[in-house]
Amino acid sequence: PAVPHLSFPDGHTIPQLGYGVFKVADEIAADVTAQALEAGYRHIDTAKIYGNEEGVGRAIAASGIAREDLFVTTKLWNDAHRFEDAIAACEASLARLGLDYVDLYLVHWAVPGQGQYVEAWKALIELQERGLVRSIGVSNHPRPQLEEIIEATGVVPAIHQIELHPYFSQRELREVHQRRGILTQAWGPLGQGRSDLLENATIAAVAEAHGASPAQVVLAWHLAHGIVTIPKSVTPARIVENLAAVELRLTAEEVAAIDGLDRPDGRGGADPATKTA
């Protein structure tokens, strides 16, 4: 399936649908990442804290896919926001991945109480200048911290990766992103199995109308909104199914009906405003 690419202001592009490997043990990461690459994914989302950069790297090396045809993201963990720690952490991630650059490096959480997110952002700017990373962004930054890093450095993140799914659609942050030219990336795009999202009646009706699965409908909703989405599965049939969502086009009415599922209590994961290291 042909995955659309979205453009960053820095000139690079990102495949709009990728493969996430949160909670995938390093022992199976190589196998499932290889299956994803075989299925046609070219965008892999990992993180230092996932403990599987080596497995992901082995799959990339074994795939024979040209480096420039792959988009690899990893993330700086919360214990390394100090400038020199962040530089070293990126170098260590690259070594584990077996790569000499990543396409995207993200500050994983702002951790406002720790107060080092501006320093971490300055380190990412340096890493981009040094060529260790192509594009830089953040994840889990509440609006005040997102605005603070921009005001402090003049450098706007290429993308912001946040919890986002139909029960938690993040309208306010998406508007901030749009105004500032930041792409929105969804983590937990399928709701992480924490809610009844994939059994929701509205989503089931849209799925029925298209002969698609509920997961495909949810992913097509992300794509329709211009969101970059990175579903995770370790089940071969679902790995294929999720990628095929790029072929599903929802009507404006269907998108609006799914927009209506947003809930004030829809957050499933940690709140970035109160997250501690």
* Annotated binding-site residue numbers: 108
In 211-275, which residue ranges form alpha helices assigned H by DSSP?
214-224, 236-243, 252-259
| Nearest approach, Cβ of residue 63 and ligand NAD (Å) | 18
- Confirm or reject binding of residue 157 to ligand NAD (CB under 6 A): no
- Which residues does residue 132 pair with via DSSP β-bridges, in sequence order? none
CB distance 207 to 165 below 8 Å: no
Stretch of 27-35, 91-99, 203-211, 234-242 contacting ligand NAD, by CB under 6 A: 234-242
- Confirm or reject binding of residue 5 to ligand NAD (CB under 6 A): no
- Confirm or reject binding of residue 192 to ligand NAD (CB under 6 A): yes
Nearest partner of 102 among 125, 129, 70, judged by Cα: 70
Q: 56: part of which helix (H) or strand (E)?
A: helix 53-63
Q: 120: part of which helix (H) or strand (E)?
A: helix 117-130
End-to-end CA distance of the chain: 39
Residue 105 Cα distances to 44, 128, 135, 190, angstroms = 12, 9, 7, 23
| Nearest approach, Cβ of residue 190 and ligand NAD (Å) | 3
Q: Which of 230, 243, 250, 261 binds ligand NAD (CB under 6 A)?
A: 230
Site track for ligand NAD across 18-37, x = CB under 6 A: --xxx---------------
Q: At what angle do helices 252-259 and 201-210 cross, to 10 degrees?
A: 160
| Nearest approach, Cβ of residue 40 and ligand NAD (Å) | 15
| Nearest approach, Cβ of residue 115 and ligand NAD (Å) | 19
- Confirm or reject binding of residue 193 to ligand NAD (CB under 6 A): yes
User: Which residues make up the interface to ligand NAD (CB under 6 A)?
Assistant: 20-22, 45, 108, 139-140, 161, 187-193, 198, 213, 215, 230-233, 238, 241-242
